Amino acid sequence: MRTRFAPSPTGPLHLGHAWSAWSAHDMARAAGGAFLLRIEDIDRQRSKPVWEARIEEDLHWLGIAWDEPPLRQSERMEAYHAALDVLWDRELLYPCTCTRRDIAEALSAPQEGAPMGPDGPVYPGTCRGRPRDGARPRDAHLRLDMGVALGGLAGTAFEETGPLRPGGVRTERETYLDRIGDVVLARRDFGTSYHLSVVVDDAAQGITHVVRGADLFEATPIHVLLQRLLDLPTPVYHHHDLVRDDAGKRLAKRDDARSIESYRAAGWTAAALRTRLDRALTAP
């Protein structure tokens, strides 16, 4: 078994991160497997080395050690370009010049029923007819043509072991077309995307069990389809419940008051924090 923790160094780790890291770490240790760290820093504007250093410090404080040097996504652009080239050469990608506003306008009254996908409103397909031959444009948004990518596929499946939807999870072709749509796989500003990079790197790190928050459950069918298209193995997924604040609201990175560092500063021990989280997440 090989698991990983994959934070973005764009702010302090909070309680939700601690839970994710502990879950992935403990699952690997219990099985005598390996636990790895990946720094997801494709957003060069928001990622800062200082956050990366503080993430590592917090993980040490939590009692978490990783078995291989951390993989840094900013050093992996060649691998992402290679994967995008494969998809481009198969004419599965097209350049898109739509702004958020263009998309909102193309979808009449998006707030009233246009389906929301994992990345926002399902793309209406405005740019789908654009040429996809010649060299792959490096400075454009590239979308996956979902219909062409699916080909004759009736659907996909993955195995989920998390508490929310344990068992086999199937995603039908119609769901891909109507509820996910033509997702962006290369952003003009990043040269890649979260979906593309996470799939390429989970395979590169040999991850057998992806442990992460339930907020990424809906994005998983995109990853499973990309694994098929790129001929990569599909790991087992374990989406854990999200840590919520006392009002039941999901914790976001901007809630600095709940950062691991603030607990450290207030004199908490990692063991006490762990007990608190165990209770919060196993409470009926």
Q: Which residues bind ligand GLU (CB under 6 A)?
A: 6-8, 40, 198, 212, 216
| Cβ at position 135, least distance to ligand GLU in Å | 30
Half-sphere exposure in the Cβ direction for 235 (13 Å, CA): 24
Q: How far is CA 182 from CA 175, 215, 239, in A?
A: 12, 20, 24
Report the SS3 class of residue 210.
Answer: strand
| Cβ at position 210, least distance to ligand GLU in Å | 6
Alpha-carbon span 140 to 186, nearest angstrom: 7
| Closer Cβ to ligand GLU, 4 or 132, answer by number | 4
Report the SS3 class of residue 190.
Answer: coil
Longest dimension (CA), the chain: 60
| Cβ at position 77, least distance to ligand GLU in Å | 17
Question: How many degrees, rounded to 5, is the angle at CA 6 between CA 137 and CA 162?
Answer: 115
| Closer Cβ to ligand GLU, 124 or 235, answer by number | 235
Alpha-carbon span 79 to 207, nearest angstrom: 16
- DSSP letter, residue 183: -
| Closer Cβ to ligand GLU, 209 or 212, answer by number | 212
| Cβ at position 204, least distance to ligand GLU in Å | 14
Alpha-carbon span 46 to 41, nearest angstrom: 8
| Cβ at position 183, least distance to ligand GLU in Å | 15
**162, 238 Cβ separation under 8 angstroms:** yes
| Closer Cβ to ligand GLU, 252 or 271, answer by number | 252
| Cβ at position 192, least distance to ligand GLU in Å | 13
